[in-house]
Amino acid sequence: MKILQISNYYYPNIGGIEQVARDASNALKDGNEVKVFCFNHEKNNKTDEVDGVEIVRAGCFAKVASQSMSFSYGKLLKKTFKSFNPDAVIFHCPNPFGAHYLLKVLKKYPDCKLIVYWHLDIVKQKTLAKFFHGQTKRLLKRAVKILATSPNYIDGSKYLSNNREKCAVLSCCVSSERIKTTEADFKNAENIKNANKGKILCFAVGRHVPYKGIEYLVKASRLLDDNFKIIIGGSGPLTEELKELAEGDNKIEFAGRIDDNTLKAHMLACDIFCFPSITKNEAFGIALAEAMSFEKPSVTFTIEGSGVNYVSLNNVTGLEVENGNVEKYAEAVKTLAENAQLRETYGKAAKERVDRLFTENVFKSTLNDIINSI
């Protein structure tokens, strides 16, 4: 089968959707002919290859409300359809600009099966979501299958719940290569532990943007005593604001952007993984699943309709508290800190859940079954 994936961006651009698109290409390429169409961060059109898969990139001249804009997108998409003639398209949402052109092109390809991979609702740009409401309904009507990263998101999204009969769950997967550990990783982890001897180590990582909720972790730290050390990885537009919020709290350390090896060392070293995301923009939580694969118990907020609370289960793989409640979050961290046996029990259950539901093999098998069923 010829399968065209349409994503906002693609590797080497880094992001959750980009990673899922790459995982999907690798899962499908053995038994199918796969091609990817996406935006290029630069203004020029470009064609290259990643993992043996051809990537067609349409030049982007600007971003408006997080949506990439391109003068050449429509013409290049039409040309790609004509030369490749796909049997099926996997379209990664949200991408309203891309959806506009895709629906136009698909009118000439009535036999081409459309699979919509619904990563998240448009939450922040509410006006934009309303403007494209009709287009979104047409897109989902044209689709033969809608993929969601968790059953929670199907229940929590009005678009998905209204098209429940078309929906299937295809959870994101943890990259085995990304979490593969070496002797050097364990040595680095030991160095982190030694530098914080006697402390309960809490680790959080993610872009410093509002929906990641890192400010709530910083505020929760104020309610913890000096037996704790909280290391926060990542960077973003809120970094300086978060540092100001944490000023005077010696428990908190901002590690900045960290590479994969440093990430693994922190995952190995920590006692508790903190994942304080607060909105449905956090549709799944790959970093959360990665921490669970290292047998780490987590503390999360309840996010209605998000897959976060599907990835980690309350009182099974970690603790979940009322959304935005700083006091409850601090209490949950204390509960895990005071009970090493509970941390071990949750940690083992966390790894077992990842191994059962969120591995590359599970992702590959599930996606191929879906493709073969359409």
Q: Give one DSSP letter per residue of 274-340, joined into a string.
A: EE---STTS-S-HHHHHHHHTT--EEEE--TT-THHHHS-BTTTEEEE-TT-HHHHHHHHHHHHT-H
- Please give the backbone phi and psi of residue 129, each rounded to the nearest 5 degrees, phi first: -60, -40
Whole-number pLDDT of residue 126:
59
Assess whether pLDDT exceeds 90 at residue 29.
Answer: yes
Whole-number pLDDT of residue 131:
66
- pLDDT band of residue 127 (cuts 50, 70, 90) is low
Whole-number pLDDT of residue 25:
97
Whole-number pLDDT of residue 339:
98
Q: What is the mean pLDDT of the chain?
A: 94
**pTM score:** 0.89
**Helices (DSSP H) in the chain: which residue ranges?**
16-28, 73-84, 96-106, 126-131, 133-142, 151-156, 158-161, 176-179, 183-195, 214-221, 239-245, 260-269, 286-293, 308-311, 326-337, 340-357, 360-373
Average pLDDT over residues 130-154: 92
Average pLDDT over residues 313-328: 98
Assess whether pLDDT exceeds 90 at residue 66.
Answer: no
Two tokens at 227?
Answer: 């037996």
Cα–Cα dist 311/289, whole Å: 7
* 145 DSSP β-pair partners: 115
Handedness of CA 316, 326, 126, 69 (dihedral sign): negative
Amino acid type, 25: S
Quick check: 145 and 370 in contact, CB under 8 A?
Answer: yes
Query: Nearest Cα to 203, choosing from 156, 259, 268, 143?
Result: 268
Q: How far is CA 39 from CA 74, 201, 216, in A?
A: 11, 40, 34
* 202 DSSP β-pair partners: 230, 272
Whole-number pLDDT of residue 13:
84
Assess whether pLDDT exceeds 60 at residue 124.
Answer: no
Cα–Cα dist 122/136, whole Å: 11
> Bigger pLDDT: 212 or 61?
212
Give pairs for 260-263: CB < 8 Å, separation 24+. Answer: 260/178, 261/182, 261/184, 261/185, 261/188, 262/188, 262/233, 263/205, 263/233
Whole-number pLDDT of residue 132:
77
Q: Distance of alpha carbon 121 from its chain centroid, rounded?
A: 13
- Identify the DSSP state of 250: T
- pLDDT band of residue 122 (cuts 50, 70, 90) is confident
Specify the pairing of strand 33-40 against strand 2-6.
Answer: parallel
Whole-number pLDDT of residue 14:
76
Average pLDDT over residues 111-125: 86
- pLDDT band of residue 147 (cuts 50, 70, 90) is very high
Assess whether pLDDT exceeds 80 at residue 103.
Answer: yes
